[in-house]
Amino acid sequence: GSIMGSGGMVVLDETTCMVDVAKYFLSFTQEESCGKCVPCRLGTRQMLEILTRITQGEGREEYIDTLLTIAKTVKECSLCGLGQTCPNPVLTTLQYFRDEYEAHIREKKCPAAVCDALMISPCQHTCPVGINVPKYVAQIADGEYLEAVNTIRERNPFPAICGRICHHPCEGRCRRGELDESVAIRALKRFAADWYFDHISELPALEPFPQIHSQKVAVVGAGPTGLSCAYFLAQMGYPATVFEALPIGGGMLSVAIPDFRLPREVIEKEIDHIARRGVEIKYDTPVNVNFTIEDIRNSGFEAVFIAAGAQRSQNIGIPGELEDIEGFYYGLRFLRDVKVGKAIQIGRRVAVIGGGNVALDSSRTALRLGAEHVSIFYRRSREEMPITEVEYDETLAEGVQVDFLVSPTRLVSDDWKVTGLQCVHMKLGEPDASGRRRPIPIPGSEFFAPADNVIAAVGQAPDLTFLPADSALERTRWERLAVDENRLVTNVPGVFAGGDFVSGPGMVIEAIAAGRRGAIAIDKYLRGDTSRVEIYDLKPSIIEETITKEEEASWEPRFRPEIPHLPIQERKGSFKEIELGFSEEEARQEAKRCLRCDLEK
């Protein structure tokens, strides 16, 4: 992607917008071009104009093909090295980062949160559900806690849950972090939600959303995706009914995330709020071969949204891996059994295989059940672990040992009882399809790791066994439902699917976003609108000033307060919640650190 004569080097990372980079280099070309040949003089100007439109939210689908055509023409027909190389940034960014161009054009989204014309603020733009973060942070700063919760719930019906376990991508793009530290957005969300539930008896009684449509919609699965879809459908005025196989709602939130991270009573309060807004939830009502999607459609529902989650544990795929062996568990089953109070025999030494949240939660749970030594074996490095820094640090602080670049090769047992793992050390090779460097075994580095229990937490996948064998729903080669990525519709009219059930396991805020997209898509379908689902926010034309000029001029480095946590010594053998949250004073002071990027003209 280099240009002759540019005289510099640009270092790129995830905070770099590749469309903006191509535009930057073409701007340089405009200054350096001699203008003697038409391809360079006019072609680069046309490409720059198109890229400018794209970064300003005015892009069209056909612009990508137009850029490719112009770039190739300029490259082949220019008379000098500058003209022959100036299209390279456009060609290479389109080749390797076409999805970023498509996000700018189709979703009006800049993944790097760089293009100001496309966003209100970087934090809101990066949030998968687009919560108006600056607004609710300002409301907390002003002591308007109920208003703050209402602002959050415009896009997210789970403020108390996300205030505890969201991976908060918004904080990674917070511009306050360029000055000192990013605003503690997740913790502020939790404060507002906790305040709401602590004062709910003093607040006006909740009323169901008014029903303005007669078409009934069914949702399969009461996890975060399904409940979010039903909530937003109810918000739009549709009667929504959720069918849940278990006697409780929440999906993986309820049966897999330990209480020390997410107490059960918090989930119950959030679901109760959704039910009070008019969503009907039918528990102990599994959808299966005896009660099918077709049966639901035939009982008066004009649309169905399937959000059955990803609840099937994936096998490790090594010799000796048998679920009947005493002391061997799959991560989800282990966490679920603990949550429902099932007796589990945990020995002195526990080995956990994997590097995601389920692996970390399993290791910390094993310690609380009495294990003396818990090791996590992960075949990649720390950089590849799909977890937040906070969760990793907390895991280490509690005494879990993490062994990187180690992969199990055999589950060893004696008389149907686990005795340990045969393992091998790894090194990182070239990147694989996921973009992460592929782990490669190191010959001669094999070793034996003794263990009384082995917990496999290497991933989850959707379970489609509840669908009849003759179901008309089309599947992919990965045994997932085939859906339109934008509208979430299946090959069967009126049947939609989304969340982990389609994409595989993800973060809770992404599940909520999928539910909201599903609700918007179903609303369009029921209104006879077959166009693309467009979910984006335009900058307001009138902005209410909430900061005085004196306050704006007084910005100086001020670091975020430490979020209080339960002391390490009090966690042993206890499932009490670890993170304790801000006090009112701490929350208001932290909220005042917000730079209000949304007020930029």
521 phi and psi angles, rounded to 5 deg: -65, -40
CATH number at residue 88: 1.20.1440.230
Q: Percent of the chain scored above 90 by pLDDT? A: 77
End-to-end CA distance of the chain: 33
* pLDDT of 10: 66
343 in a structural domain: yes
Assign 538 a pLDDT band (cuts: 50, 70, 90).
low
Pair (323, 375) in one structural domain: yes
Mind listing the pLDDT tens digit for each residue in 559-590?
899 999 999 999 988 999 999 999 999 999 99
Indicate the SS3 state at residue 261.
coil
* pLDDT of 81: 72
Assign 152 a pLDDT band (cuts: 50, 70, 90).
very high
Average pLDDT of span 472-492: 92
Assign 9 a pLDDT band (cuts: 50, 70, 90).
low
593 in a structural domain: no
Pair (425, 509) in one structural domain: no
Dihedral sign, Cα of residue 507, residue 509, residue 512, residue 514: negative
Q: What's the number of domains the chain is made of?
A: 3
Which range (32-36, 312-316, 320-324, 512-516) has the least confidence? 32-36
Average pLDDT of span 18-32: 86
- Joined together, the tokens standing for residue 460 give 């989850």
45 in a structural domain: yes
Q: Is the pLDDT of residue 149 over 90?
A: yes
* pLDDT of 547: 54
* pLDDT of 13: 77
142 exposed, middle or buried (CB, 10 Å; 0-12, 13-18, 19+)? Answer: middle
Q: Is the pLDDT of residue 280 over 90?
A: yes
Pair (361, 473) in one structural domain: no
Strand extents, DSSP E, 132-197 = none
Q: Is the pLDDT of residue 4 over 50?
A: no
Pair (307, 429) in one structural domain: no
Q: Is the pLDDT of residue 482 over 60?
A: yes
Q: Is the pLDDT of residue 286 over 90?
A: yes
Assign 3 a pLDDT band (cuts: 50, 70, 90).
very low
* pLDDT of 25: 86
Q: Percent of the chain scored above 70 by pLDDT? A: 95
* pLDDT of 111: 92
Pair (369, 295) in one structural domain: no
Pair (336, 453) in one structural domain: yes
* pLDDT of 15: 85
- Residue 438's nearest CA partner among 449, 425, 426 is 426
Q: Is the pLDDT of residue 556 over 80?
A: no
Integer Cα distance of 27 and 38 in angstroms: 17
Tell me how far apart the 2 most distant CA atoms of the chain are, in Å. Answer: 84
- Residue 129's nearest CA partner among 496, 519, 501 is 519
* pLDDT of 1: 46
Dihedral sign, Cα of residue 278, residue 279, residue 285, residue 289: positive
Integer Cα distance of 521 and 233 in angstroms: 10
Pair (331, 455) in one structural domain: yes
Average pLDDT of span 534-545: 65
Mind listing the pLDDT tens digit for each residue in 188-222?
999 999 999 999 999 999 999 999 999 999 999 99
* pLDDT of 601: 56
* pLDDT of 367: 97
Q: Is the pLDDT of residue 325 over 50?
A: yes
pTM of structure = 0.92
286 in a structural domain: yes
586 in a structural domain: no
310 phi and psi angles, rounded to 5 deg: -125, 90
- Domain finish residue from 48, 75, 109: 109
- Domain finish residue from 407, 442, 461: 461
CATH number at residue 358: 3.50.50.60
Structural domain of residue 323, as residue ranges? Answer: 313-461
Mind listing the pLDDT tens digit for each residue in 216-255?
999 999 999 999 999 999 999 999 999 999 999 999 999 9
* pLDDT of 40: 77
Which residues in 170-197 are b (16+ Cβ under 10 Å) and which e?
bbebbbbeeeebbbbbbbbbbbbbbbbb
Query: Tokens 């919560």 identify what position?
Result: 131
456 in a structural domain: yes
Pair (336, 447) in one structural domain: yes
Pair (421, 500) in one structural domain: no
51 in a structural domain: yes
155 in a structural domain: no
- Residue 89's nearest CA partner among 24, 30, 38, 32 is 24
Pair (289, 425) in one structural domain: no
- Domain finish residue from 445, 461, 477: 461
Mean pLDDT for the chain?
92
Pair (348, 271) in one structural domain: no
Pair (452, 330) in one structural domain: yes
- Out of 9-18, 40-49, 299-308, 428-437, the most confident range is 299-308
